[in-house]
Amino acid sequence: MEPLTMLILLPLIGAVLTYVFGKGNEESAKHIALLFSLLTLLASIPLIPMFMSNPESLYPSVNYKWLTIFDKEITFSLGVDGLSLPMILLTTVLFVVAILASWNRITYRLPEYYALMLLMEMGLIGIYESLDLFFFYVFWEFVLIPGFFLIGIWGGKEKTYAAMKFFIYTHVGSLFMLIGFLKLLFATNTTNIIAIEKTLSLSIEEAKLVFLLLFIGFAFKIPFVPFHTWLPHAYTQAPSPVTLILAALVSKMGAYGLIRLAFSFFEDFFQLYSYPLALLGLLSIFYAGFLALAQDDIKKLIAYSSVSHMGFVLLGLLSFNLTGLNGAIFQMVSHGLIVAMLFLACGIMNQHLKTRLISQLSGVARSMPKVGWSMVYASMASIGLPGLSGFVAELLILFGLYNAVKMGIMPLWVLVLAALSIGLTTGYYSFMLQRAIFNSPNDRVKKVKEVLTSSEAVALAVLIILIAFLGLYPFHAVEIISQASEKLLAR
Amino acid sequence: MSALEYAWLIPTFPAVAFVLITLFGSRWGERSGIVAVLFTALSFILSVFVIIEVLSGKELTYENGITWISKESVGFAEEIFKFGLLIDKLAAVMLFVVAFGSLIIMIYSLGYMHGDETVHRYYAEMSLFISSMLLLVISRNILLLFIAWELVGLCSYLLIGYWYKYSTAASAAKKAIIVTRVADIGFMLGLVLLYNWLHTLDIVEIFERAPKELTEEQITIVSLLLFIGAMGKSSQVPLHVWLPDAMEGPTTVSALIHAVTMVKAGVYMVARMYPLYVLSDTAMLVVAYIGAITAFMAASMGLVRIDIKRIVAYSTMSHLGFIALALGSGSIAAGMYHLINHSMFKALLFLATGSVLHAVHARSIDIRKLGGLWKKMPITAITALVAIVSLSGLPPFGGFWSKDEILAAIKASAMHEPAYIYLYYLTMVTAFLSVAYLFRWYFIVFLGKPKSKEAEHAHESPAIMTVPLIVLAACSFIVPTVKLFGYDEVVSDWVGEYAPYHLPHLTEDEHEKIAVISAIIAVISFLTVFAVYYLKVVSSETIVRTFKPIHTLVNNKYYFDHAYNYFAERIVYVFSLLLDVLERLYDKYIVDGIAKVTLMFGDVIKKLQTGKIQDYVTLIFLGLSVLLIILSI
């Protein structure tokens, strides 16, 4: 069977089976879900050699007419290139991690939970594979639904508020995007992304409007400040495996759309508006960075830090050269892994210690060494320590930005501020580590014994290895990504 | 077979130890120490072979290392991310010093860390520390150097906070990582510029191409940005505040940080990039000034501290200032010579201090509680004396000659750049202080009568600790002789290959004059301390009272810590708290406000749905009329 279609169908079949068999025997739901997430992972790995041997062979891989209304054409078209391949691999890996992390965390309504998780995986893979705006939009909205229930049913104390906010807020964003899509459809009579790229011709005024609509739509999802306030609620209220998915993958939907559609259709406007966009990126980096410093709740701290790091993606795009673009895409992958690990470690801590407040924690490394040190490791990765993946992304983005400065399309202070933000990031992470993970344990922490289940240990180990591998030897990853960047710049 | 070909194994051995101990250390417990020592010993043995080959004239310039990111992926014609190795004379000498110092400290650790609960973590982190430093020394690519540089920073963060159960240790670790990483932003920006200006990060290529392709202004900017990184690492004013606090780690960690790794990385980087620095007079002058000011401030602070380890820490800072000053004054030979000298003596001094602390069972102690240890711990006392005499620069020991070289270099530089002459006088003052603070330390700790129970019950440390002390003390006598092997030329000649460079030179007469003056200063200083702390002619309290305002200023560490703490706590943190309030208001009133308005609007519109057919007909009629009016206009 065609590999890309299979990647979408596998989690879907898995979801149905999980639900059906899970109804009879709750425990079996976990096993079926794990099995199918592993199968999906296995199915995604052959894409690497296929892509490496011939990058264009999978773009598109499936392509046929689906529906024609008058002269408007909707196609069913799937494809993978250097931008979507890393995202798909990230998705398939992180769902295995998330299901392992859910193993002992989720205690009620297992069949529904695991089925929804797999549905979400299907939606995400669908987005990254779609080469047609119609299906892109369908999958895009589809992801919201499992997300809504996963937060609303298995979430924390304010889960209803958080789920509603997540749903409505990001849905409003999607509407901007939808209007943009409709405009594109009427301008080109097709929804096929490759066809649009070739035939798109809009007047400047119209193009400007569509660009803004798409940009705002994606800005809600990524999110950029000031469209971000759904995020702290959703991230803190969702159960930590779901938070892991939201932060690592759902926010990447926005960044992915930004590059795949907004950037590739309207690169000119990124250049035209490079100053205000750079300011927006810096605003996200610093505003969220300062907020992270103020948080007492570790999960909220990670949430804001996540917003802050996504600002770097925008800066990388604005450099308009291979180095910066590679950095931006690399940052998406690296940030996905790192933030997943942070939320995972934070979730395990919370489960045993019954609190996430820094002020109530102290000396976690003492009573829970494995989890505590995982937290240290992930924090170091997040502040961009060389040898771990975050550094490669930051370095490439900074290298790329200066090139843009030299070309005169970016002022120098953008680069300097971006570099200075590293100090801020180091500040809030090391401040958190000092108070929560180090120091001598308080009474609450002393009582806890570390019980790291094997599924949690495997999940952490996978992330540790991947983060170190990408950081130590980014050669192949950058090579894959570079194919997409070259294509974007050639246009 | 050439040992140079296997040089890549030198940093690999401790890295393997790190991986092994991380994986199995909890099972091995204290036995991890033996693994760590064995692997460090392998590195040391290999580095001995390497230095022998290098001194016999061979060199390793290994360009074709690992390609980290291919040139195609970043769209450049040159391979920028190719990580090769470079072992020339400079690197080989440093490699040997680092490997030797590390090995001694690791062996000593077996005794010093005996009985610690999580000792396997200690050995894992120490192994990674040594591995990163060795890699830093031999990297040929400045990005690889930076990667190792940051790993060195990480390890010192982890090791300073090794006893994180003490809140002071956790806080000191945080301070170290924040200060050094803020400094590293400078380094990173320097890399960014090199990458874009020269399209290379290969150190040798930078040397070859920088003079031709970069303007002097560009070179100044790059070298100063790199130097900001070095200021953080080598604790130069004003980025020095982390170093004294770093004493919170185990004393062996302090020894490693101060003698061969962390702080030496900064000045070594400047020496490594020396062909770039000599091209810019401005950069050299800045380096010299920062170094001289650091040396002076640190020496003055060391004179008023009372904590046994903190005084030694300030001594390190002061000597790093001297090294930077030497480099800035154009004498890489004096700088490297002082660096090696200091590595040996500081390792010795720290290990001796560790021996004292081991004897009194403390992490650190107020020197005024000690005293009279001379009789109780003779080996420690004698080896400490060897270290002090050399470090302080009393004639005719090693430290005196390197100090003399530095003064001569400043004087020589002053001949073509008058701004150096102030440094000459400042350094004379510092030289006076250097002798004073170290002997004050020694007199109070080892002579007189024990002033506390701990000091009374102190006894000599076990052999695993004293033997390394004796070995180091013996080596300290050998170090000065390296000068006899034409060391100056060894480290300075290669600079001349790339840049117009000569060691600064003075006439014999002038040189002698400087030696005499600095000898007189050292002796006067020694006699003063002897009079105050041994003969007790004047009590130290009287001196403090006489110079009250100066003492307050110095005792408060020139208010650097106050200023930084104020900035971090009162400005940055308060600003972030305010922003947090703003964020809540924004979310509550604006974002949720839009939602509420929408709901209210729905409530109002809802009232139109009356269900009466007459109302609907009226509305339709009204609507149609409006539409017609609009259309007719």
Are A82 and A483 in contact, with CB atoms under 8 Å apart? yes
DSSP code of residue B29 = G
CB contact under 8 A, B192 and A402: yes
Is the minimum CB–CB distance between A161 and chain B shorter than 8 Å? no
Please write down the HEC assignment for all residues of B221-285: HHHHHHHHHHHHHCCCCCCCCHHHHHHHCCHHHHHHHHHCCHHHHHHHHHHHCHHHHCCCHHHHH
A286 and A236, same structural domain?
no
CB contact under 8 A, B70 and A295: no
What does residue B230 show for φ and ψ, rounded to 5 degrees? -65, -35
Tell me how many degrees the CA angle B516-B517-B521 measures, rounded to the nearest 5: 115
Tens-of-pLDDT digits for all 491 residues of chain A?
688 899 999 999 999 999 999 888 888 899 999 999 999 999 999 999 999 888 887 888 888 888 888 888 888 889 898 999 999 999 999 999 999 999 888 888 889 999 999 999 999 999 999 999 999 999 999 999 999 999 999 988 889 999 999 998 888 889 999 999 998 888 888 888 888 888 888 888 888 999 999 999 999 998 898 888 889 899 999 999 999 999 999 989 999 999 999 888 888 888 888 889 999 999 999 999 999 999 999 999 999 999 999 999 999 999 888 999 999 999 999 999 999 999 999 999 998 888 899 999 998 888 898 999 999 999 999 999 998 999 999 999 999 999 888 888 888 999 999 999 999 999 999 999 999 999 888 888 888 887 788 899 999 999 999 999 999 999 999 999 998 898 888 86
CB contact under 8 A, B75 and A294: no
A294 and A214, same structural domain?
no
Q: Tally C-beta pairs within 8 A across A and B.
A: 142
Is the minimum CB–CB distance between A402 and chain B shorter than 8 Å? yes
Closest C-alpha among A278, A387, A464 to residue B132: A387
> What tens digit of pLDDT does each residue of B369-412 get?
887 888 888 899 999 998 898 888 776 677 788 888 888 889 88
**B305, part of any domain:** no
Is the pLDDT at B1 greater than 70? The verdict is no
Closest C-alpha among A333, A358, A231 to residue A288: A231
A117 and A22, same structural domain?
yes
**How does residue B325 score in pLDDT terms, banded at 50, 70 and 90?**
very high
DSSP code of residue B368 = G
Nearest CA in chain A to B172: A434
**A29, part of any domain:** yes
CB contact under 8 A, A290 and B188: no
Is the pLDDT at B506 greater than 90? The verdict is no
User: Count of CB atoms within 10 A of residue A446's CB?
Assistant: 13
CB contact under 8 A, B595 and A168: yes
A161 and A49, same structural domain?
yes
Whether this model's ipTM surpasses 0.90 comes out as yes
**B584, part of any domain:** yes
Assigned token pair, B452: 């506390």
CA distance A423 to chain B (A): 5
**A268, part of any domain:** no
How do the residues of chain B divide into helix, strand and coil, expressed in percent and rounded to 5?
Answer: 80, 5, 20
Token match 């000898």: residue? B519
Q: Which residues of chain A are within 8 Å of residue B192 when distances are taken between CB atoms?
A: 398-399, 401-402, 415, 419
Q: What's the mean pLDDT in B571-576?
A: 92
Closest C-alpha among A311, A330, A308, A318 to residue A427: A308
**How does residue B64 score in pLDDT terms, banded at 50, 70 and 90?**
low
Of A326, A430, A479, the CB nearest to B178: A430
A167 and A311, same structural domain?
no
Last residue of a domain, one of A263, A285, A313: A263
- Tell me how many domains chain B contains: 1
**B296, part of any domain:** no
- Residues ≥6 apart with Cβ < 8 Å to B627: none
Closest C-alpha among B237, B228, B325 to residue A420: B228
Residue A380 pairs in a beta bridge with: none
- Tell me how many domains chain A contains: 2
Token match 């002082």: residue? B338
CB contact under 8 A, B580 and A363: no
A297 and A236, same structural domain?
no
A229 and A311, same structural domain?
no
> What tens digit of pLDDT does each residue of B97-137 get?
899 999 999 998 998 888 888 899 999 999 999 999 999 99
At B481 the pLDDT is 66
* Residue span of the structural domain in which A349 resides: 273-491
Closest C-alpha among B97, B19, B59 to residue B472: B97
Q: Which residues of chain B are within 8 Å of residue A168 when distances are taken between CB atoms?
A: 595
**B212, part of any domain:** no
A325 and A257, same structural domain?
no
Last residue of a domain, one of A212, A243, A263: A263
A245 and A351, same structural domain?
no
Last residue of a domain, one of A219, A236, A263: A263
At A181 the pLDDT is 92
Of B68, B580, B595, the CB nearest to A474: B68
DSSP code of residue B558 = G
User: Count of CB atoms within 10 A of residue A207's CB?
Assistant: 18
Is the minimum CB–CB distance between A168 and chain B shorter than 8 Å? yes
Q: Which residues of chain B are within 8 Å of residue A406 when distances are taken between CB atoms?
A: 196
A293 and A186, same structural domain?
no
A199 and A116, same structural domain?
yes
Element (H, E) at B139: none
**How does residue B487 score in pLDDT terms, banded at 50, 70 and 90?**
low
Of A168, A326, A431, the CB nearest to B74: A326
**How does residue B146 score in pLDDT terms, banded at 50, 70 and 90?**
very high
* Residue span of the structural domain in which B580 resides: 563-632
Q: Which residues of chain A are within 8 Å of residue B187 when distances are taken between CB atoms?
A: none
Is the pLDDT at B317 greater than 90? The verdict is yes
**B60, part of any domain:** no
What percentage of chain B reaches a pLDDT higher than 90?
Answer: 35
A288 and A249, same structural domain?
no
> What tens digit of pLDDT does each residue of A443-488 get?
888 888 877 888 999 999 999 999 999 999 999 999 999 988 988 8
To the nearest 10 degrees (0 to 180), the angle between helices A322-353 and A454-472 is 160
Q: What's the mean pLDDT in B426-437?
A: 90
Is the pLDDT at B632 greater than 80? The verdict is no
For residue B82, the SS3 value is strand
CA distance B578 to chain A (A): 9
**B605, part of any domain:** yes
**B387, part of any domain:** no
Would you say how long chain A is, in residues? Answer: 491
What does residue B63 show for φ and ψ, rounded to 5 degrees? -80, -35
